[in-house]
Amino acid sequence: MAAPDPDFPVLLTVYGREHCHLCQDMLAALQELKPDYPFQLEVVDVDSDSDLQSRYGQRVPVLMAGNREICHYHLDLNAFARIFQRIEK
């Protein structure tokens, strides 16, 4: 797990797998948002752990902020932006 960075207070985790076009699409979209939002990104391969495999199965990618799911399959920009609205208040 990535160490907290005070300049990037939000740690987002993408649960996905290799050779998953939806996972690659979500990661690319998140990279485009990095200049405008203060977040760190951690990518976890669900195939690296049997518990993660059973938890997520084919339901990847899943974007999480802590233990809160933001979205899955495709990046939901509205749900993503709400995470940052909460920390700005």
CB 23 within 8 A of CB 14: yes
User: Which domain covers residue 25, as residue numbers?
Assistant: 11-88
Instruction: Report, as an integer, the average pLDDT of 10-21.
Output: 96
Average pLDDT, whole number, for the chain?
Answer: 90
Predicted model pTM: 0.87
The count of domains in the chain is 1
58 in a domain, yes or no?
A: yes
pLDDT digits (tens, 9 = 90+) for 72-88: 999 999 999 999 886 65
Instruction: Report, as an integer, the average pLDDT of 31-38.
Output: 93
Statement: residue 48 has pLDDT above 70: yes
CB-based contacts of 53: which residues, under 8 Å, 6+ apart? 46, 47
CATH number for the domain harbouring residue 65: 3.40.30.10
Q: For 43, list phi and psi in degrees, rounded to 5.
A: -115, 125
72 in a domain, yes or no?
A: yes
